[in-house]
Every structure is written in structure tokens, then in C-alpha cells.
Amino acid sequence: PTAIDISLKMSSLLVAAGAGREAERIAERVVAFTRKVPTAVGVLFQAQMVLADARLLTDGPEAALPEQLKAISILSTQGPSPMLGLAWRGVGMTLRQLERNEESAEAFRKGAAAYAALGMTGYEHALRLDGAESLFHAEKLDEARELIEEVRGLLAEVDEAARAPHEMQANRILAYMAAEAGDLDTAAEHWLEVADLAPTAGLSDLEARLTAAQLYALDGDHAESDAQFLRAELSAAEAPDPAGATAEVMRVRAQVLRESGRSEEAAEHARLAANHARTSGDLAQAVYLLVVAGDSLHQAGNALASVQVFEEAVETAREAKMTELEATVHVSFAAVLKAMGRGPEAEVHEAQARSLGR
């Protein structure tokens, strides 16, 4: 590799490490040097893209956008290239961050066209769907839906494995659109489509099922919500960190149950979630979940069990030497004790919180 290659690699690694300013300085030098070499168009493009990434990291999307457009202008004179599609995708994402959504949709369209010119239909479909999402954010709902259906029509002739990621993307966008319109049941159904497609794409269905479960609960369909939470628990058991994933599923379920007025069930799930979080090694999460359980038991009118769980939360935080978290638990415990009419005990916990810095 040449010195330029090494410099570019170093700059990319610095961006990945979060050292944007250092990456920016190296990329600027490479850009300045390669601009003087007419045959170094490819290297100049790469350097310009790295510079854009560095500017995005250090100064945000407003600073990155001009550098991304410069990269496109460098490459656009060289004929069809997959890198041109990639660059337009970057511009589309940056414009979306800036909430310039119609312009974002146009950038994705240009990226899709770059891939189409090379017959790279998979990438083309992905960028057209990205464009549909930007149209949704621009409140161009009819155009977004029309574009999605057009892409899905083209996908009908593609084999299932290749089709799945695009169908997942399409269903996510349709779910957002349905939720925005207040049609939570339809939104949940689209998330279940995502969940069903996920294994074909080699992905977990956990997040999609968890989202569907929450939407069904918001829509008042608690039976279907409970069913999807159970499916999510099964998926969590197959995750790389099954205890941590199960803790997250049960945390969300406890939250939904609390919001539905099912406080005793919420407490039960929060306790179970705390146990899984502890198994996963996330003691801070375990303490938080014990507080949720204690508060839920108080809401359910079970004062004795509530106090016992809060005491467990205090002890867990203390044993873990999480001073700030322990202080927060004392504050929460004091609030519940006051609500129970146990003022003197509440004052003890308030004093303990103050002694710990709260």
C-alpha cells in the first residue's frame, strides 16, 4: 500500500474511533494532494468521503453535506459506479437528518438510478424504499405509498431470501404510516410481517414482535399484546445474551401492564426482569426494575411487599457500590412511604439520600 492508502485507512479508523478532528486533518491533506493528480480520481473520491464522515462527526450534518456533494461531483464524470449510488445514499441520509425530506427523497432516487444503470437491483430497491421513507417524513403519503407498492410489485418475481430484507423495510415504513394515522392495529400487523420475514433474512424477530406487542396494547387488544410478548420471550431466549434480552422484554411488558392498570402483573414481570438483568450482569438495570416492581406493588395496594422490594433494591445498589443509584432508590422509597402515610420512615430514607449526595 502507498502512503496515501495508509493515510486514508488511518483517517477512516480515526472516524470509527470518534477522533473526528484528527481524521479531518489527515483527510484534508490527502484531498489537497490527490487534487493535483488527474489519474487519482478514485482515491480523491474516497478521501472526500472520509472527510465528509469526519465533518459529520465533528460539526454535524450541515458541515458534512457540502463534502458529500463534492465527492459526488468528483465521481459523476467517470460514468456508472456503485460508489456513486453509495454516495447519494449518504447525501439522502444527511438531508433526512436535516429534515430536508423532499430533497432527501430526490437524493435516494438518484442513488437508486445509479444502481439501476449497473443492474444492481437489490441496492436499487433498497434506496427507492429509503426514498419512500423520506417522502413519508415529508408528509407526501400518497407518493410514499405508491413508491412502496411499485417496489413490492417488482419484488414479486424475486426469490424469498432476496426479497425478505426489502419486504421488511417496506412493512416498517407502512407501519410508521399507519401509526401516524392512528391505525395502531394495522401498524401492529405490519410489524408482525417484519417479524415473520426476519428469520428468512437471517435476523431476529425480537424487536418487531416487541413493537407489535406495544401497539396492540395501545390499541386495547391486550390478548394479542400478551401473545406477542410471549413470542418475544421465546425469541429472547435465542439471543446472544438471553438473560439480558429477556430482561428487556419483561421490562417493556411491565411498563405496558402498569399503563394498562394491571399493577400486580406489572410488579411480577418487573421482579422477573430484575432477576434476568442480574443474571446478565446488569446490576443497574436490576435495581431500576426492582424500583418499578416496588412502585407497582404500592399501586396495587400491597404495602408490605412493596416495602420488601424497595429494601431489596437499596441493598442491591449498596452491595454493587452504586452510590448515586442507591441515593435515587432512597428518594423513590421515601416518596412511596410518604404516600403510605409512614412519614418518619420516609424521613430516614430522605436523610440517607442526602448523605449519599442527593
* Integer Cα distance of 204 and 197 in angstroms: 9
Q: Are 153 and 184 spatial neighbours (Cβ–Cβ below 8 Å)?
A: no
Please give the pLDDT value at position 161: 87
* Integer Cα distance of 7 and 167 in angstroms: 40
Please give the pLDDT value at position 158: 84
Please give the pLDDT value at position 156: 83
The set of cell numbers assigned to 255 is: 411498563
CA dihedral 237, 241, 243, 244 (to 10 degrees): -120
- Name the residue ranges covered by the structural domains of the chain: 239-358
Would you tell me how many other CB atoms lie within 10 Å of the CB of residue 223?
A: 8
Please give the pLDDT value at position 159: 85
Angle at 169 between CA 163 and CA 175, to 5 degrees: 130
* Integer Cα distance of 238 and 214 in angstroms: 21
The set of cell numbers assigned to 90 is: 449518504
Q: Are 141 and 156 spatial neighbours (Cβ–Cβ below 8 Å)?
A: no
Would you call 101 helix, strand, or coil by DSSP?
helix
Q: Are 125 and 155 spatial neighbours (Cβ–Cβ below 8 Å)?
A: yes
* Integer Cα distance of 199 and 325 in angstroms: 39
Q: What share of the chain is helix, strand, coil (3-state, %, to 5)?
A: 85, 0, 15
Q: pTM here?
A: 0.85
Closest CA relative to residue 285, chosen from 304, 270, 264, 267: 270
Please give the pLDDT value at position 1: 66
Q: Are 92 and 131 spatial neighbours (Cβ–Cβ below 8 Å)?
A: yes
Please give the pLDDT value at position 288: 98
Ranges of residues in the chain whose predicted pLDDT is under 70: 1, 358
In the CATH hierarchy, which top-level class contains the domain 239-358? mainly alpha
What would the pLDDT profile of 48-88 be if each residue is shown by its tens digit? 999 999 999 999 999 999 999 999 999 988 888 999 999 99
Please give the pLDDT value at position 177: 97
